[in-house]
Copies of this chain bind each other. A is one copy, B any other.
């Protein structure tokens, strides 16, 4: 099993933190997105979608998408559980994980990819070159701010994102807050619940992954 990774990017970080929480160490290989290695061989044949993370299994087949890789790792290594232990808990956690992805990660990506000169012609991941839309960068920043408000409100009623236990949804949200700095958006002092939660997660050894 081998993980295609790129240290500075948010999506593979989700998998790295997940692995650290599971106490798993697997071989990783860096795909340098800063010089387009995702569009070149040998990576493009492994993943024609040209994105990391990608988990290469021992039989040569590949699993893409951070959330799917984490679910696969959970199935293979159930302890400690990060997706809940009943179908109901699992559904609640996976629902929150998607909410964080949709309202958080996608909003930040929309901002960064439609504004930064580094992403010119790469407003979306993948092999097709889509032009940047400045209006979308602006909407993305607005959505990112909304996300922080919503996450703070959620953490006012719940110690962790999906309930009383730390889960994969906390990992996704934690990575998202770090990623939001790329869009120059960060929690403000009024986000007291979010700050309490973020500080606590920053103390976990997995935060360095």
Contacts and interface: CB of A to CB of B under 8 A. Distances in A.
Interface of A: 49, 57, 61, 63-65, 67-69, 71-72, 75-76, 87-88, 90-92, 94-95, 98-99, 124, 128, 130, 133, 135-136, 139, 142-143, 146
A146 B128 contact: yes
User: DSSP class of A's interface residues: helix, strand, loop or mixed?
Assistant: helix
A151 to B, nearest CB: 13
User: How many copies make up the complex?
Assistant: 2
B135 A95 contact: no
Contacts of A95: 63-65, 68
12 contacts: A57-B88, A61-B88, A64-B95, A68-B98, A72-B88, A72-B90, A72-B91, A128-B146, A130-B142, A133-B133, A133-B136, A133-B139
Contacts of A87: 72, 75-76
A209 B132 CA distance: 39
Contacts of A143: 124, 128, 130
Given A61-B92, A65-B94, 15 more contacts: A49-B99, A57-B88, A63-B92, A64-B99, A68-B94, A68-B95, A68-B98, A69-B91, A71-B91, A72-B87, A72-B90, A72-B91, A124-B143, A130-B143, A135-B135
B90 A75 contact: yes
A68 B91 CA distance: 6
Nearest to A76: B87
A91 B59 CA distance: 14
Given A133-B136, A133-B139, A139-B133, A71 B94 contact: yes
